[in-house]
Copies of this chain bind each other. A is one copy, B any other.
Amino acid sequence: MSDVKKVVLAYSGGLDTSVIVKWLQETYDCEVVTFTADIGQGEEVEPARSKAQALGVKEIYIEDLREEFVRDYVYPMFRANTIYEGEYLLGTSIARPLIAKRLIEIANETGADAISHGATGKGNDQVRFELGAYALKPGVKVIAPWREWDLTSRETLMAYCEKHDIPVDYSKSKKKSPYSMDANLLHISYEGGILEDPWMEAEEDMWRWSVSPEAAPDQPTYIELSFEKGDIVAIDGESLEPHEVLAKLNQLGGDNGIGRLDIVENRYVGMKSRGCYETPGGTIMLRAHRAIESLTLDREAAHLKDELMPRYAKVIYNGYWWSPERKMLQAAIDATQENVCGVVRMKLYKGSATVVGRKSEQSLFDESIATFEDDAGAYDQKDAEGFIKLNALRLRIAAGKGRKAD
């Protein structure tokens, strides 16, 4: 294990990754570079500096990646109306490629030959980190302590801390959430604890970002979202950067009890797991994006997007953001968004985000054709007969040969 000279660690500043710093130093006899990013998880990142210093780390990276995260990862993903397994908005999945990319870039800058992360050996995140890392730096060494060490119980971990003088904030530790959580600007996730029984309803005090629908205001909130090329660029007429849009929608959604989700999902490593998610802004964005597409996107392009979407979602969920197939799918998706512009009006009320209006200068809705009233010849109803007759031809021939249709 002596061949690692320097390792870049995705460092949260919390207990687990602090232990990892020490364990890496000790086990690999190597230098550790810490990398801590603000991707909107809602916790200060600056405190990670002193903690890292206290652990003897000399190269400390602390970065605000919120803008890049939403602009280059969340927004492209939402152009595809991406949902995994019909429900999940991929809040954790979409943050990993950016972390992987920065880990590798920092490794290149600091001359490190390895990277490390605090994800367990059962989850998807290890896969996402490592696939990204290998794709970006094929010779990199990846160290996943949770797959290697024997500190697998709280007791052994605590003993390790005591032995190595790693400060444990016991007060915090005691009131520690019983859930395993992950947060960024797109969502917060909860796993473990009573959620390990899929029949048990999540407790109300688990949720952190949203009020319950019951506790939300009795009056609905109406908002207008402006789109340019498939991306939201303004709320109620106010221009905002992507990460500002998402932050604002999280606020609006959370206040109205929007975006809670409770599912059982299929992990890439082969098991089912139960997770709860809060994605207030994302839930609104998805609905709104579909609405503006419904007005401005060609039918066949829309249908093809819908057919490709589950594949695209799986690619991201499984950790293949940095892959040729993701590039290929993104090219197809982005090629459709040129005219996805306009405004969507939504009603937010006690858990629901409902589209109530949409308009666009690029609208393909043609009232003069669609109308139930006299259309002045815009559409010749007689065309329908030939349309139906030829579409039915293969069916008629088959039936004429005695084939049964039912």
Contacts and interface: CB of A to CB of B under 8 A. Distances in A.
Interface of A: 81, 85-87, 101, 120-122, 126-127, 130-131, 134-139, 144, 146-147, 152-153, 180, 191-192, 196-202, 213-214, 218, 220, 260, 262-266, 269-274, 290-291, 294-295, 297-307, 310-311, 314, 320, 322-325, 327-329, 331-332, 334-336, 339, 345, 347, 349-352, 354-359, 362-367, 369-372, 374, 379-401, 403, 405-406
Contacts of A397: 138, 270-271, 364, 366, 369
Nearest to A289: B86
Contacts of A381: 120-122, 146-147
Given A201-B357, A386-B384, A392-B135, A327 B323 contact: no
Given A354-B260, A384-B386, A401-B362, A272 B198 contact: no
Given A272-B295, A323-B405, A192 B372 contact: yes
Nearest to A311: B307
5 contacts: A121-B385, A135-B396, A364-B398, A366-B397, A384-B390
Given A136-B406, A269-B387, A300-B324, A131 B395 contact: yes
The 9 closest A-B pairs by CB, nearest first: A386-B386, A121-B381, A270-B393, A266-B299, A383-B386, A138-B396, A331-B335, A332-B332, A134-B392
Given A306-B86, A328-B304, A271 B401 contact: no
A352 B355 contact: no
Contacts of A398: 135, 298, 324, 364
Interface centre among A270, A300, A302, A388 (most CB of B within 10 A): A388
A173 B217 CA distance: 40
Nearest to A372: B192
A274 B390 CA distance: 19
Contact of A322 (B85, B303, B352, B395): B395
Nearest to A87: B290
Contact of A196 (B299, B371, B374, B390): B371
A223 to B, nearest CB: 13
Given A270-B391, A271-B397, A328 B323 contact: no
Contacts of A201: 345, 347, 356-357
A382 B147 contact: yes
A272 B365 CA distance: 5
A298 B324 CA distance: 7
Given A147-B381, A213-B350, 4 more contacts: A135-B395, A272-B294, A304-B329, A384-B390
Contacts of A196: 367, 370-372
A144 B310 contact: no
B358 A399 contact: no
B153 A390 contact: no
A290 B363 CA distance: 33
B199 A358 contact: yes
Given A271-B369, A354-B262, A372-B192, A214 B349 contact: yes
A87 to B, nearest CB: 7
A192 to B, nearest CB: 4
A52 to B, nearest CB: 26
Interface centre among A271, A291, A352 (most CB of B within 10 A): A271
Contacts of A300: 320, 323-325, 394
Given A294-B265, A357-B201, A136 B399 contact: yes
A398 B296 CA distance: 9
A298 to B, nearest CB: 4
Contacts of A325: 298, 300-301, 304
A380 B379 CA distance: 21
B372 A383 contact: no
